[in-house]
Amino acid sequence: MTETKHCIRCGTTKPVSEFHTQKLRSGAQGLQGYCKLCASEWHKAYVEEHREEQRAKRHAKYVENAEENRIKAKAAYDANPELSAIASRKWYLKKHYGLTPEEYDAEVAKRNGRCDICGKVAVAKNKWRSPLHVDHNHTTGAVRGYLCPSCNTAIGSLGDTSAGILKAYEYVKSAEL
């Protein structure tokens, strides 16, 4: 016969497999009063309700331990700078462009390392840096292409818009006449 338990939140009787275990004060194992479904719903609501409070606590702890964290990070970097650079590149590409290093490398290889605008081969400053910049729409975040540092800077200086680029084109064109 299957053992059952009554959920104190939803009021239904369910098999004990539908309840999480918990360690009791006596040290014995017991079952939580809420079934797994109710516990999940409660946890989601709690997290949402206390989101800002938890964020403030994490930030305060970070500020309180900032110097210690900085020392640990520097020690980890000093112990293996190549690994730190690889992890940093992986994080940056994923956070800013939604790309993995493998996806980025495949796109650069597909272009033979050439800029999408000028066609020049971009060279990385060191083996951990990316040779081409990921050009993206700053509103939508969509990747437009891969540019050398000069072309990426030029587009950014022109406001990163087609209107700014056309205005510059018209200016240069009018000076050629």
Question: Region 130-134: what's the mean pLDDT?
Answer: 88
Tell me, what amino acid is at 133? H
Does the pLDDT at position 1 exceed 70?
A: no
Q: Is residue 156 part of a domain?
A: yes
Q: Is residue 103 part of a domain?
A: yes
H-type alpha helices, the chain: 36-49, 51-64, 66-79, 81-97, 101-110, 149-157, 162-176
Does the pLDDT at position 32 exceed 70?
A: yes
Average pLDDT, the chain: 90
Q: Is residue 53 part of a domain?
A: no
Q: 170 lies in which domain range?
A: 99-176
pLDDT at 160: 86
Q: Is residue 158 part of a domain?
A: yes
- Please tell me the total count of domains within the chain: 1
Span 33-83, pLDDT tens digits: 999 999 999 999 999 999 999 999 999 999 999 999 999 989 988 998 888
Read off φ and ψ for residue 166, nearest 5 degrees: -65, -40
CATH assignment of the domain containing 145: 3.40.1800.10
Find, among 47, 48, 26, 44, the residue nearest to 34 by Cα.
44
Tell me, what amino acid is at 153? T
- Distance between CA atoms of residues 26 and 46, nearest Å: 27
| E strand segments, the chain | 4-6, 13-15, 19-23, 29-35, 133-136, 143-147
Find, among 96, 28, 56, 147, the residue nearest to 155 by Cα.
147
- Distance between CA atoms of residues 107 and 113, nearest Å: 9
- Distance between CA atoms of residues 43 and 36, nearest Å: 10
Does the pLDDT at position 177 exceed 90?
A: no
Q: Is residue 105 part of a domain?
A: yes
Q: Give 127's pLDDT tier (boundaries 50, 70, 90).
A: low
Q: Is residue 58 part of a domain?
A: no
What three-state secondary structure class fits 108? helix
- What letter would DSSP give residue 176? H
**Between 66-79 and 51-64, two packed helices, what is the crossing angle to 10 degrees?**
70
Percentage of the chain surpassing pLDDT 90? 68
